[in-house]
Amino acid sequence: NEKALGFFCLLKRESVWPTHYTFGNLLNACANLANLNLGVQAHAHVMKHGFCFRSAPEPHIFVGNALIDMYMKCGSVEDAFGVFQNMVERDCVSWNAVIVGYAQNGYGMQ
């Protein structure tokens, strides 16, 4: 996972434009490392490149779901739910990520 983060930095240095798949994988690496600080930085890149939320030219459910998963795995339940609330569209994966995330963080009854 740390190598994945290194490759993302290399991608930026090479001036390669990331896609929604790039960000999904980057967020997955942050989630697997349970590194909230890196996840927040990745979220900032997602916003900068316009892959999520209402203001995005082309919002991607895939990226929103990856953000929810990352925040939940890092224990930041409120941030995960904030992402969920701000998604233009949600799918079954979105709902499942929230349900599982709440349960894994000790909020199973919510």
Asked, for residue 59, whether it belongs to a domain, the answer is yes
More confident residue, 72 or 11: 72
Q: Is the pLDDT of residue 35 over 70?
A: yes
- pLDDT of residue 15 exceeding 70, the answer is yes
> Is pLDDT of 8 > 80?
no
Nearest to 6 by CA among 31, 51, 38: 38
Whether 83 maps to a domain, the answer reads: yes
Q: 106: part of which helix (H) or strand (E)?
A: none
Residue ranges making up the domain that contains 20: 2-104
In a domain, 49, yes or no: yes
Q: For residue 109, tell me if it sits in a domain.
A: no
Count of domains forming the chain: 1
Instruction: Tell me, yes or no, whether 28 lies in a domain.
Output: yes
What pLDDT digit, counting tens, does each position of 75-100 carry? 999 999 999 999 888 999 999 999 99
pLDDT tens by residue, 45-66 = 888 877 766 665 556 888 999 9
